[in-house]
Amino acid sequence: MTLLEIFPSLRSGMPSPRVDTSVWPCETHYDDLGRITVGGVALADIADQYGTPAYVLDETEVRRRCQAYRKHFPDAEIIYAAKALMTKSVARWISQEGLSVDVCSAGELAIALAADVDPQRIVLHGTGKPFCELEAAVAAGVGRIVIDSLTEVTLLAALATKPQQVLLRLSPDIDVHGHPAVRTGVTDQKFGLPLGSAQADEAIARIMRHPNLKLVGLHCHLGSQIHEADFYGEAVRRMVAEMARIRRDYDVTLTELDLGGGHAVAYRCGDAEMNLAELADIVDDSLDAACALNHFPRPHIAMEPGRAIVAHAGVTLYRVMAVKHIEGGRTYVIVDGGMNDNPRVALYGARYDAVVANRHPTGPHMTATVAGRYCEAGDILAADVSLPADLRPGEVLAIPCTGAYHHSLASSYNGVGRPPIVAVHEGRCHEVLRRETPADLLSRDLG
C-alpha cells in the first residue's frame, strides 16, 4: 500500500490517476474524503441533490475548448455544431467565446434564438430540411443555409424574397475509414451532392440563376472521430480546385470554405485525438498550395466542431443498483441509467471507462461490465472495466467524456425520462436542464 492509499486526503487538490485529464475535464480533483470533484463540486453531492442518472457539464471546460479553437484558428470562423449538445446555456457560453452556431432543425434554431444568438451567426444544416424549417430559418434571418439537394434549391427559391446567403454541401470522395454510420465524405452516402457530379453542377447553375440566392461558398463534412489532420488538407485541395472551376465556368468567386467538423476526442486514456496545432498548420499549408496552384484568392475558412467542444466537459453519474457475479460468466454492475442516456455503445460500439466517484477505492479491484437498467441485452455502458471489488449498491459511478451526443441522442425508452444536465462552475452547480418526468411523458399523450 502506498501512503496515498492509506491517506487519500493527501490527494486533495491533486489530479488523481483515477481521473486522467485527457479524458476528464481539466478541473477534476479529489476532495478530502477521496471523492471526485469536477469544477469544484463533488460528483457524489450532485448525485444526492439532483438524483441519478445525471449529466454533469463543466462550463469552464466548454469555454476552454472554445478558446483553444480561437487560439489555433484566429482567422477562421468556428461554428459550434449544436447537434452534439444544445441547451440555452451552452449556446450562450459558446457565443460569448466568439463561436457561431450550426443548427440542423427548427428545434435547435429555436434554442439558439432563445439564447439570443445573433441570427447572422447561425448556419442551417441538414439533409431533408422540411419546408417549414427552411421557412423558419429564412424568417429568423439566419446568416447562411447549407443546401443539401436540388429540391432544397427549389424550396429556397420559393422562400427567398430577399437576398439569402447559401453554401452548397459537396462530398469530396474522401474516405476517413470510420464507422459506416459516421463516414460522410465518401460519394455513396446521403449528405450533399458528389463533387464534380452532374447534380452538383445543376445545383450550382440553379442557385446562380436565382436573384436572391447568394452562393458564397462550399461546404464538406468528412465524418466523425477523425484524428489524422491530413484528411482536411486533402479536402482543402479538392474543394479549392472546385471553387476555381466554378470561377472559370460562372465568373463568380466564392469566398467561403466550410470544412465541417469531425475532430476526434479521446473517450478513454490512450485514444487518439485531433491535434489542433497540427490541423491548423495542415489547413494553412494546403490552402497556400491549393490557392497558388489554382490562382485562386484565399477563401475564408470555417470549421464546425461539436464533439471537440463539449465531449470532455461532460460526466454522467449513475447509482449502482446491483452487483451480479454470474457463475462461469462476467460480473455485471447494474446501474440506474444506460442506453437511454448513452446509446453510443449500442450504436457504434463505443468504449468508455467507469470509476467510483463517492470514495477513494483502496482495496482490490475486479473486472466488471457496467450494464444499464433497460430491457435490452445490448444495454451495456462499459465492458470489462476495472472497479473496486467491494463495490456496493448505492455507490456512485461516473463515466467521463459524455458531453457530446449523449443528451442529444437520449431517448425515453421504457418510459424513463431523460436525465437532467447539471452545470458546474468554480465550486457551484445549477441545473440547466431538468429531468424529464412521467408527467412530461404524459403531457404528450392525448389519449
Rounded-to-integer distance, Cα 415 and Cα 410, Å:
12
192 assigned to a ligand binding site? no
The residue from 306, 338, 419, 420 that contacts ligand LLP (CB under 6 A) is 306
Residues in 122-141 that interact with ligand LLP by CB under 6 A? 125
| Pick 83 or 238: Cβ nearer ligand LLP | 83
Q: Which residue has the cell 434554431?
A: 109
80 assigned to a ligand binding site? no
- To the nearest whole angstrom, how small is the minimum distance from the Cβ of residue 194 to ligand LLP? 16
- To the nearest whole angstrom, how small is the minimum distance from the Cβ of residue 27 to ligand LLP? 22
Residues in 406-425 that interact with ligand LLP by CB under 6 A? 409
- Checking phi first, is residue 320 left (phi over 0); if not, alpha (psi -120 to 50) or beta? beta
84 binds ligand LLP (CB under 6 A): yes
Using CB under 6 A, count the residues that bind ligand LLP. 22
Q: How many helices (H) and strands (E) does the chain have?
A: 13, 21
Candidates 129-137, 200-208, 267-275, 301-309; binding stretch for ligand LLP (CB under 6 A): 301-309
Residues in 170-199 that interact with ligand LLP by CB under 6 A? 182
| Strand ranges for 250-313 from DSSP E | 256-258, 300-303
DSSP letter, residue 246: H
344 assigned to a ligand binding site? yes
The residue from 233, 260, 361, 372 that contacts ligand LLP (CB under 6 A) is 260
Those residues with Cβ within 8 angstroms of residue 367's Cβ, 6 or more apart along the chain or in another chain: 330, 331, 384, 385, 386, 387
403 binds ligand LLP (CB under 6 A): no
Q: Are 308 and 65 in contact (CB under 8 A)?
A: yes
Give me the active site residues, please: 375
98 assigned to a ligand binding site? no
228 assigned to a ligand binding site? no
55 binds ligand LLP (CB under 6 A): no
Rounded-to-integer distance, Cα 122 and Cα 91, Å:
11
Alpha carbon 276 to its chain's center: 16
Candidates 56-64, 195-203, 271-279, 403-411; binding stretch for ligand LLP (CB under 6 A): 403-411
405 binds ligand LLP (CB under 6 A): yes
304 binds ligand LLP (CB under 6 A): yes
Those residues with Cβ within 8 angstroms of residue 89's Cβ, 6 or more apart along the chain or in another chain: 59, 115, 423, 432
Q: Are 214 and 164 in contact (CB under 8 A)?
A: yes
The residue from 129, 144, 183, 307 that contacts ligand LLP (CB under 6 A) is 307
Q: 3-state class of 20 per DSSP?
A: coil
319 binds ligand LLP (CB under 6 A): no
Could you give the angle at which helices 230-250 and 198-209 cross, rounded to 10 degrees?
50
For residue 439, count CB atoms less than 10 angstroms from its CB and return exposed for 0-12, middle for 13-18, buried for 19 or more: exposed
How does strand 256-258 pair with strand 77-81? unpaired
Side-chain-facing half-sphere of 288: CA atoms under 13 Å: 5
221 binds ligand LLP (CB under 6 A): yes
Residues in 348-387 that interact with ligand LLP by CB under 6 A? 348
223 assigned to a ligand binding site? no
- To the nearest whole angstrom, how small is the minimum distance from the Cβ of residue 268 to ligand LLP? 15
262 assigned to a ligand binding site? yes
Binding-site members for substrate are: 307, 344, 348, 376, 405
Q: Report the interface residues with ligand LLP, using CB under 6 A.
A: 81, 83-84, 102, 125, 182, 221, 224, 260-263, 304-308, 344, 348, 404-405, 409
